[in-house]
Structure 1
Amino acid sequence: MITYIDTDKILQGFTFIDLFCGIGGFHCALSSLGARCVFASDIDKFAKAVYEKNYGLRPHGDITKIKVEDIPPHDIICAGFPCQPFSISGDQKGFDDPRGQLFFNVVAIAKHHKPKVIFLENVKNFEKHDGGKTLARVKKELDDIGYTVYSDVLCASDYGVPQARKRLYIVAFRDDINSSQFAFPTKIDEFKVLQDILITDAENTVNGSYVIQRETTINEAIPNERKNELVRIGKIGLGRQGERIYSVLGVSTTLSSQGGGLGGKTGMYQIDGVVRKLYPRECARLMGFPDTFQLAETQEQNYKQFGNSVVVEVIQLIAKEIARHLPRNNNQNGNEEE
C-alpha cells in the first residue's frame, strides 16, 4: 500500500546523496524538509570544512575515485555538477572539458543504485549550449537508464530571493514513478529587494575590504520605488562589467565565484551613503542560507563558496513539488512494492 506525503516535513523518511556538494545548498534545502543525507562528495578542502562544520558530515573527496558500490543506497541524487564548461564566462568546451565529463559519474551512480529521483542544477547557458545538443544529450543519457526528465530555467528573484540568478534545473523521475503531473514551482507574487537582507556594519564578522574607495558617478534621479529587477544607478570608470553601481531597492547581481572589476563576485551598491560590495553574511542570505549557517574564515572563500552554491529556497520549492510525486512505503530505497 502506497501513501503520499503532504506535511511540513514532506521528505521525511527519504534519503539523498549530495554530489559536488560545495557548502551544502542541497543539503540545507532537503534536510529542512525531513530528508536525510547519507553521502556527500567534493574536492574543495575549504568547502568540505564548512560543510562538516554545519552538518556534522565530512564529505568524501573526488567522486571519480569512489566506486559506485561504495556509495550507500539512496532515494534522491542531488548534484550541482561543475558549470564552468558550460558557462558563457568560460571556454564552453562542455563534455570535452574533464569537468564536463563529471555528469557521467552521476549517470553511473544512478544506473547502479536506481534512486527514485535525480535532481540537478547548472548555469542557464547549459540549456542552449552547443545549440541545445548538450541538454539533449543529458536527457537521452537519463532516459536510457530509465528516467523521465523535466527541465526549466528559474530565476531566484521570482521566488522571494532578491538576486538576479537564473539557473537550469533538471529533475528526473524513475520510470516506474508516475510523474506526469510534475511541474516546476510557479512564480510567487511577493518579492524582496536587496535592502530587505542587508546587515549593519557591526553585524559583519568577517574581515575584508568592502567600501569602494574610488570616484563614482551616480545618476541624479535615483529611483525610490521597489523593483523586482536590477536597478543600475551609477558607475565607476567606464561602467564596464564589475564597474556598475546598483540600488538596494532592486535585486542584486548574480553572485559569482569568479569575475573581476571593483564589484566582482557580488556587485557594488550604494548603501548608507557609501558604495560597497556585499558582506559574506549578505551573500549567505542571497543564497537562502539561514543566519545560523557558519561561514568560512575569509572573504575570499566565502565569495567563492556562495558564488558556487545553489539557492536554498529555490531548491526547497522544487523539492516540495518532487515530494508530491514520490510514493512512500516501508521500502524507501529500491523498487516499490505495491
Structure 2
Amino acid sequence: MTLNFCFFKVNFNYVYLNYGNEIITNLKYIDLFAGIGGFRLALDTFGAKCVFSSEWNKSAQKVYYENFNDFPHGDITLIKEEKIPKHDLLCGGFPCQAFSISGKQKGFEDTRGTLFFEIARIVNFHRPKFIILENIKNILKHNSGKTLETILNTLKDLNYNVYFELLRGSDFGVPQNRERVFFICFRKDLNIKNFILSKPNFNFKSVKDILEDNPNLDDVEIKRNDIIINDKKIDLNLFDNYPSKPIRIGIISKGGQGERIYSIYGTGITLSAFGGGSAAKTGAYLVDGKIRKLTTRECARMMSFPENFKICQNKNQAYTQFGNAVIVNIVKFIIQDLKNKNILSF
C-alpha cells in the first residue's frame, strides 16, 4: 500500500506533511519524555487531544510551554500512575538502557530501575489501546540483543501485539540520514494482527532544500586554517541525481567527530544531542563558499518542525533539543497509516 500525501509549502524548498482535514475524533494521548514536542506536533495535526505530558529538562519544558501553552509535568519517576488521566494512546521516545537481568527473565520485573519501567507501569495500570515508542538504532543490538528482547517480552506480557521497524528520516521527506526504531503496539483485545507499516513514497530532499536565505553566520561559520576540501567530483547515480546519503567532501583538522564537511546536495548527517568538534551536533557543510554548521532553524526544518515553531533562544540548548527530538513527519506518517487502515476508528 502506498500513501498519497498533500504538502504544506512554506517560503523555501522544504516541505512537511500536512493531512489537512484528516481529523481523528476522541483520541486522547499522553506524551512521555516529551522533549520539545515532536510527537505532539504530529498528533495535534489530526485533532488528537493531549491529556498529559512529562519532561524533566527545564529548558525543554519552557520550549514546550511556549509552543503548546501546556507546561509538562516533571520527572516521570515521581508521578504515580493513578494521577495520570485515562488515555487511548501512549507515546514517547525513551532512553536506551540496559536491564539488570539475572537468571530466568521476568519481563516486567526485569525493567525496574530503567525509564522503560516507567512506561511499563503506566501501561500496566491504564491499558491504553495503542502505544508508539521511538528509540535509537542501537537498541536493536544493545547488550547483545537482550535489551530489545526484554522490551518485546514486557510489552507482550502486558497484553500487546508489538511491531517494530527501523525508519530513516530521508525516506520521509526530510534531508537527514537519521535512523530510529519505532515500536507500534496494539492491545490484544483489538485483534490487530500481522500489521505492516505502508512504504513511504517521498521525493528526495537535500540539505540545500532546508537552508535559510541570508542567515546570520556569526555563530555558525567555521574559520580555520586546517580545513581541507576534496576536489574530487561527486558521482551521480544512473539518473544523474546526487546520491540519497551524506556526501563527505572534506575535513577540519583530523576529520574526527564534528570535524567532517559534507555537500549540501546530499542528505544531512544525523543531528546529535552530544559530541564535540567545530561542527558539533550538526556537522559542517560547504554553503556558498563558506564552511559552516546548520542554524537552529535549519535543524528545525531537518526534523520537520513547522516554521512557526518557537525555538529556544539558547542556541546550544536548541541544538541539543533538536538532536533529541523525533522527526515529526515520521510520526504523522504512522498516524495517517493507522487511520487509513481504520485502526484508529473506535
Partners in 2 of 1:67 and 1:115 — Cα distance?
Answer: 16
> Does the alignment pair 1:199 with 2:212?
yes
> Does the alignment pair 1:22 with 2:26?
no
Report the equivalent of 1:110: 123
Is the contact between residue 338 and residue 344 of structure 2 (CA under 8 Å) also seen in structure 1? no
Alignment of 1:85-124 (within 5 A): 85=97, 94-96=98-100, 101-124=114-137
Is the contact between residue 88 and residue 129 of structure 2 (CA under 8 Å) also seen in structure 1? yes
Partners in 1 of 2:46 and 2:344 — Cα distance?
Answer: 16
Partners in 1 of 2:82 and 2:254 — Cα distance?
Answer: 55
Deviation at 1:321, TM superposition (A): 2.2
Partners in 2 of 1:301 and 1:218 — Cα distance?
Answer: 30
What TM-score comes out, normalization by structure 2 length?
0.85
> Does the alignment pair 1:299 with 2:315?
yes
Report the equivalent of 1:232: 248
> Does the alignment pair 1:220 with 2:231?
yes
Of 197, 221, 236, which aligns to 1:211? 221
Q: In structure 1, what residue type is equivalent to 2:273? A: S
What TM-score comes out, normalization by structure 1 length?
0.87
Is there any run of 5+ residues in structure 1 with no aligned partner, and where? 1-5, 86-93, 330-338
Task: Please give the per-residue CA displacement for 1:268-326, whole angstroms capped at 9, x wherever unaligned.
Answer: 00001100000000000011100000000111011010000000001111122233343
Partners in 2 of 1:209 and 1:327 — Cα distance?
Answer: 45
Helix, strand or coil: the match of 1:60? coil
Helix, strand or coil: the match of 2:82? helix
Report the equivalent of 1:328: 345
Is the contact between residue 178 and residue 325 of structure 1 (CA under 8 Å) also seen in structure 2? no
Partners in 2 of 1:125 and 1:172 — Cα distance?
Answer: 20
Is the contact between residue 247 and residue 266 of structure 2 (CA under 8 Å) also seen in structure 1? yes
Q: In structure 1, what residue type is equivalent to 2:232? A: A
Partners in 2 of 1:189 and 1:283 — Cα distance?
Answer: 20
Instruction: Count the aligned residue pairs.
Output: 312
Is the contact between residue 295 and residue 302 of structure 1 (CA under 8 Å) also seen in structure 2? yes
Is the contact between residue 259 and residue 278 of structure 2 (CA under 8 Å) also seen in structure 1? yes
Of 146, 163, 170, which aligns to 2:159? 146
Report the equivalent of 2:88: 75
> Does the alignment pair 1:187 with 2:200?
yes
> Does the alignment pair 1:245 with 2:261?
yes
Of 310, 316, 321, which aligns to 2:332? 316
Q: In structure 2, what residue type is equivalent to 1:126? A: I
Helix, strand or coil: the match of 2:99? helix
Q: In structure 2, what residue type is equivalent to 1:161? A: V
Is there any run of 5+ residues in structure 2 with no aligned partner, and where? 1-18, 101-110
Partners in 2 of 1:46 and 1:120 — Cα distance?
Answer: 23
Deviation at 1:208, TM superposition (A): 5.8
Partners in 2 of 1:99 and 1:44 — Cα distance?
Answer: 22
Partners in 2 of 1:11 and 1:242 — Cα distance?
Answer: 42
Deviation at 1:185, TM superposition (A): 3.4
Report the equivalent of 1:91: none
Is the contact between residue 81 and residue 125 of structure 2 (CA under 8 Å) also seen in structure 1? yes
> Does the alignment pair 1:174 with 2:187?
yes
Helix, strand or coil: the match of 2:330? helix
Partners in 2 of 1:208 and 1:168 — Cα distance?
Answer: 36
Partners in 1 of 2:210 and 2:309 — Cα distance?
Answer: 15
Report the equivalent of 1:50: 63
